[in-house]
Structure 1
Amino acid sequence: MPLTPEDVDAWLDGVVPSLLDREGIVGATVVIVDDGEVVTQRGFGWAEVDANGTGVRPVDPARTLFRIGSVSKVVVGTAVMQLVERGQLDLDAPVEDYLDLEIQARFATPITLRHLLTHTAGFEDRVSNVLLPEGAEAPELRDAVRPPPPQIFEPGTTPAYSNYSSTLAAYIVERVSGEPFAEYARKNVFEPAEMGTASFEQPLPEDLAAMATTTYPSAGEPATHFEHLGPWPSGSVSASGADMAAFMLAHLDSDSSPLLSPTSLETMHSRALSADTLGGLADGDSMAISFYEQTRNGVSGIAHGGDLSHDHAELWLSPQRGSGIFVGFNSSGVRNDSPAAFREIIIDGFVTRYLASAQATPQQLDTSVDHAAQLAGVYELSRRAESTFVRIYSAASKVTVRADGVGAITLTGITDLAGVPLRFVQVEPWLWQSARGSDQLSVRVGEDGSIEAIALHPAFVITPMSPWRAAVVPTLVASIALLLIAVVAWPVRAVAGVVFTKPLRQRPRDRRLRLLSLLAAVAALAAVGLWLMAAVQMLNFGGLSHLVVRTAQALTLIGILGAVPAFWRAVRMVRERRWWPAALAVLTVVGFLGWAYVALVGGLLTPSLHP
């Protein structure tokens, strides 16, 4: 299909308005560039609606600013490459050469800018203070990068998505250039690329704030506030569709880009890591500098997505074809995956309609059945925490790989737009592809034949979950059930004693032991509630209450110590051959021991308050 403004506009008019209605998204912008020109830049829906849902301000692609989330990381990468081009930075020098803070390295391999910009520095994830409470001011960049999170992977070996890494790279730009990063980006990226309204600032200056879209959870719901990020260089850019068109054209201009030389552009757009460190993970799409490779229907591309609570965006470029597309939304829609489904339809539709040629249906290999059976199992995301209590939430977020017995695999949570699990077949040794052509899974196999990692995305992988960690969730459920039985049995027995005139007769010591164990059980159950509260706070990207965490830890410890009086009481009941009380006491002991296991393996008692 010819890539003309007339055809593109007709295609968008036939697709986008219906998607807005179906997904409950208030407003969107779509921008397409090709061969050094803007093919189209469109606004759909509303940048603002009134309390009745009636449109007040339509989306203007030239003047309505959208939050682009983690697409901002590409701006950080561009800034780094400019200083590399000037000889002020080296992608492969240890980052500590440029820093005034110490990183507690766990591995001999030093962290480099290449690692920071490819999510392979090995840092564990941080989830608190990513989005700050309403009204909170974003920290100075130096404060945002202190203290560094611990490492859990050797640099260069394991992609693990990291907002911190991009923020640290921005801080290095700030230190080496001698000016605040937001100011550097304005003068050296936004202005040369003619991105006249783009800004990292939080809050936006008054003139730009008047242009910003209002953000909504979904159509018909009240607006939300302008979100402030803690690690702000990793996702705080506000930009119009026209700004993003200019940015795409600057990156696609391989001869006279206002941002980077042809050599620097090629470096930034090319695969940044090799099989020397990634192993078999390099067989599929991998990371470039701040971009991730994303092949769609046989068309090679580089991309980056961005998501705040309710602002969403995605950028996709094909440097070989000189084409690109950007989509941005100001709401999350009616389903958790509404923005993802929307942008998948638009971007995949663009590539399929205008750039792709017919692709053969992937055919599986003779080794597929055996390899699928080897892959089957339970895994966990590389984007996780190990040194804080967030470890328990990582353990609860397991991914199950299933082999279908005929050479294909499916994975928990990876579905098509209809919610049906995607089926992957092996198209090369240890490289798997879905039938729709835009999803790849590459696998790193150890020298002993064990599965070390599966790449779900260039920026993160899944690694095998140990049996110890896999047992955390079922142990937690069983422990809660047993301790709940113990707590409920107390008033039930008291009521039964009154009704049947058979009061429970206990020696004073047994009464004290029973009371202590019951109070400990209540403490453990209360701790579960507080840990759930902490999880909600973090999932909503709000400020994590240290009081909630410390109280939960204190109650957790009391619950663990409850095993002592419960065990003592169980021994006494057995000695006295009081079998029913003994059985209940033994079950209570098992509940406490299970709770202790969950606390220790799940990291509930770790002292750090920087999850």
Structure 2
Amino acid sequence: MLRRGFTLVFSILLLLSGSITAFAAEIGSGGAGGATPSGIPLAGLEAFVDDYVKEYIGQQSVGASIVMVKNGQVVLSKGYGYADVEQQIPVSPDTVMEWGSISKLAVWTSVMQLEEQGEIDLNVDIRSYLPENFLTKLKYDDPITMLNLMNHNAGFEEYMFDMAYQSPEEVRSLEEGLQLAQPSQIYRPGEVVAYSNYGNSLAAYIVERISGQPYHEYVQQHIFDTLGMRDSIAHSVVEDRPELLEHKAKGYFFDGEGSFTLGSWNYMSMYPNGGNNGTAEDLAKFARAFMPAAGEQSPLFKKPETLGTMLTQSYASAEGMPGIAHGFWEYPGMHRTLGHGGNTIAFATNLQIVPEDRFALVIMTNQASESKIVHGLAKAIVGTREQADAVDLPDTSEVQGEFMAARRPGHGFMTLFPYLTLMKLEPQGVDQLQVSLAGMTGSYKQVQPYLYEKVSGDSALDAWPMLHAKVSNGKVEAISVYTTDYLPLPASKSMPVLLLSAALAVLVIVYFIIAPLVLLVKAILNKRRTRTRPAPRAFSRKLEAGLTLTGTGIVVNNLVLALRMLSNNERAYDEVYPQILVNYALTGLAVLFLAALLLSWMKNRFASTARVKWLAILPVAMMVVLVGQLVLWQFYS
């Protein structure tokens, strides 16, 4: 009896042990007992996501493919909305979407693979890996390292042409794309963070040269095939993979509540920085490779220290400010979070990994600049870290003002663009700032000296969860907002100068739009006059009319140029260059009219009434102001 009792107790203990082990394994593998980094139980995760997205899908967002991974296992994979609104095709796990800038992570992974093999040194001048005199627009002799490219502080301007096209026929080779859209260097390497698509594609070109393979083939072999990513392509021309093209979603623009306009697919010569296409489940496989289980090795690297190095912070503007980890952007989640967002012409995406929690989130949408789900849901899932109460915080008024994006064109008429999208900081109470940018606003609370955290406002600003003000001797030197710096306005473009320039621009535009109508009315009235005697100053008036109409032509040409860029800024420079030539031609014609008018005045000694003199001088003055504005904002280049 005693032996039977011991046997029974032992059996029960074994059963309990097995149950406890199974329960622990379930938690460890992301089972029902697990949770997201923000604390949402995995058992209720699908219901939470369903409830979150239903507010936006069909109203403010077209479609979304969402995948989450916990401890190496997919805990959610679901599509919402439509991949094709017109055909009513829903988003599904096999829906192919554009990665956007998440594609950059494949470049940095490739770089780290070659660094592991001793083929690339992250601290060596990249010119040693490039053909001689490949970079022809460098301002500084300082070396540009691979780390500079990873940290987006190589100093390149934002060149806004020939980045993306709307048809595959326009796509050139990677090398040709880099030469065609080569930007100038406007900052000293290492001094300013200015997000650079060019720098990333330049790194991919180095991978191409060292490996001896076209970049997209290298990625396919060494990343996608290794991870079993069969439904992805490291290129923007999906037409090369008909089986993927069949499942690719259409992209859309938000056109008002419940209304969406069809957009175009994204085609790129510099495709490494944003041209990848694939399913969300494939992208989740990529994310999972950066979070191997304890004691296991990432399939992407041969040495565990390579992964450790890649996920280590490589740049931050200040302690406590999220920075960059060898191409990954840090996010202030409940635990340390790394990731990258992406935008193409008509798609928006987000990838977040939480190595400590072995959790990953992939959100892909087929809508331009979608933020309600891409950023809002990501924030709800990964959470935000708690900040300790700070003391002796500086007055928020110290950092108020207007600031210009460091990521900007340094040459040509697009230099005007960053001045139209200035960041404005205003004190909001004792310890908060109101951030205004491009029609969006958000409130940021100071959590450490000069370090602010977003607490409310437009969801699009969730891409910038924190900002840091670099202040020296009472002056703001830079505002760091996660992916780029914002800089104080230069003295030559201070707010008074900008306001004066804006007022003059409005004045000349209104004048040259109205003036032709006035000339038409005057011409009709003049017909009623006697034709037996020529009107006084008839020749001069014709010259004045010619000058005015030339000014109208210049204004219309540049208004059309502005509207074209606003409707679609993904253009080849060849598309806008004819309008630059028109500026030269019309300005040359205006100079001829001015010269002829001055000669006419000198010949006739301008013997007219004061009123007539002012009416004659007005078109001349307006033309001088107009040309001055075009020169100031580089509309001749």
Please, what TM-score do these two structures have when normalized by structure 1? 0.85
2:565 is equivalent to residue 535 of structure 1: yes
| Matches of 2:387 and 2:321, distance apart in 1 | 17
2:399 is equivalent to residue 367 of structure 1: no
* Aligned ranges 1:212-291 → 2 under 5 Å: 212-217=248-253, 224-253=263-292, 255-260=296-301, 261-273=303-315, 284-291=321-328
Other-structure match for 2:206: 172
Q: Report the CA distance between 1:466 and its aligned residue.
A: 3.9
Other-structure match for 2:134: 102
Q: Report the CA distance between 1:568 and its aligned residue.
A: 7.2
| Two-structure CA RMSD over aligned residues (Å) | 3.2
2:52 is equivalent to residue 15 of structure 1: yes
List per-residue Cα deviations over 1:140-172 (Å, max 9, x = no partner). 111111142111111111111221111111100
List per-residue Cα deviations over 1:161-196 (Å, max 9, x = no partner). 221111111100000011111110011111222222
Letter aligned with residue 441 of structure 1? L
| Matches of 2:567 and 2:167, distance apart in 1 | 13
Whether contact under 8 Å (2:157, 2:186) holds in the other structure is yes
Other-structure match for 1:394: 418
2:454 is equivalent to residue 428 of structure 1: no
Q: Report the CA distance between 1:222 and its aligned residue.
A: 6.8
- The secondary structure found in structure 2 opposite 1:320 is helix
| Matches of 2:155 and 2:319, distance apart in 1 | 17
Letter aligned with residue 326 of structure 1? V
Question: Cα distance 1:464–1:89, how it changes in 2: closer, same or farther (>3 A)?
Answer: same
Q: Report the CA distance between 1:573 and its aligned residue.
A: 9.9
Other-structure match for 1:609: none
- The secondary structure found in structure 2 opposite 1:233 is helix
Other-structure match for 2:377: 346
List per-residue Cα deviations over 1:552-611 (Å, max 9, x = no partner). 4433454577665677788999963522232233433332222122111211112xxxxx
Question: Cα distance 1:235–1:519, how it changes in 2: closer, same or farther (>3 A)?
Answer: same
* More deviation, 403-412/130-139: 403-412
Other-structure match for 1:277: none
Q: Report the CA distance between 1:407 and its aligned residue.
A: 5.3
Whether contact under 8 Å (2:478, 2:487) holds in the other structure is yes
| Matches of 2:213 and 2:197, distance apart in 1 | 21
2:518 is equivalent to residue 489 of structure 1: yes
Q: Report the CA distance between 1:137 and its aligned residue.
A: 4.4
Letter aligned with residue 74 of structure 2? V
List per-residue Cα deviations over 1:501-549 (Å, max 9, x = no partner). 8999333552354244223323322332342254246525467243233
* More deviation, 4-13/565-574: 565-574
* More deviation, 397-406/564-573: 564-573
Where structure 2 has 5 or more consecutive residues not aligned to the other structure, the ranges are 1-33, 457-461
Identify which of 465, 475, 478 aligns with 1:450: 475
- The secondary structure found in structure 2 opposite 1:186 is helix
Q: Report the CA distance between 1:83 and its aligned residue.
A: 0.4
| Matches of 1:309 and 1:599, distance apart in 2 | 29
Letter aligned with residue 111 of structure 1? I
Letter aligned with residue 477 of structure 2? E
The percentage of counterpart residues that share the same residue type is 23
Identify which of 227, 233, 238 aligns with 1:193: 227
Q: Report the CA distance between 1:221 and its aligned residue.
A: 5.2
| Matches of 1:369 and 1:392, distance apart in 2 | 29
List per-residue Cα deviations over 1:67-104 (Å, max 9, x = no partner). 11110001111111110111100111111100115213
Whether contact under 8 Å (1:560, 1:593) holds in the other structure is no
| Matches of 1:562 and 1:307, distance apart in 2 | 48
Q: Report the CA distance between 1:364 and its aligned residue.
A: 8.1
Whether contact under 8 Å (1:117, 1:166) holds in the other structure is yes
Letter aligned with residue 487 of structure 1? P
| Matches of 1:565 and 1:407, distance apart in 2 | 63
* Aligned ranges 1:73-88 → 2 under 5 Å: 73-88=104-119
Whether contact under 8 Å (1:472, 1:602) holds in the other structure is no
Identify which of 556, 560, 582 aligns with 1:526: 556
| Matches of 2:319 and 2:602, distance apart in 1 | 58
| Matches of 1:560 and 1:403, distance apart in 2 | 49
Identify which of 31, 54, 66 aligns with 1:30: 66
List per-residue Cα deviations over 1:29-48 (Å, max 9, x = no partner). 11112233222222223333
Q: Report the CA distance between 1:240 and its aligned residue.
A: 1.2
Letter aligned with residue 259 of structure 1? L
Please, what TM-score do these two structures have when normalized by structure 2? 0.82
List per-residue Cα deviations over 1:367-413 (Å, max 9, x = no partner). 214413xx31x322222212222223333333333345755432332
Question: Cα distance 1:285–1:509, how it changes in 2: closer, same or farther (>3 A)?
Answer: same
Letter aligned with residue 597 of structure 1? G
- The secondary structure found in structure 2 opposite 1:146 is helix
Letter aligned with residue 582 of structure 2? T
Letter aligned with residue 450 of structure 1? K
Question: Cα distance 1:35–1:216, how it changes in 2: closer, same or farther (>3 A)?
Answer: same
* More deviation, 560-569/527-536: 560-569
Whether contact under 8 Å (1:556, 1:599) holds in the other structure is no
Question: Cα distance 1:30–1:369, how it changes in 2: closer, same or farther (>3 A)?
Answer: closer
Question: Cα distance 1:287–1:511, how it changes in 2: closer, same or farther (>3 A)?
Answer: same
Q: Report the CA distance between 1:136 and its aligned residue.
A: 1.7
Question: Cα distance 1:577–1:364, how it changes in 2: closer, same or farther (>3 A)?
Answer: farther
Where structure 1 has 5 or more consecutive residues not aligned to the other structure, the ranges are 275-279, 607-611
Structure number with larger C-alpha Rg:
2
| Matches of 1:222 and 1:407, distance apart in 2 | 41
Question: Cα distance 1:142–1:357, how it changes in 2: closer, same or farther (>3 A)?
Answer: closer
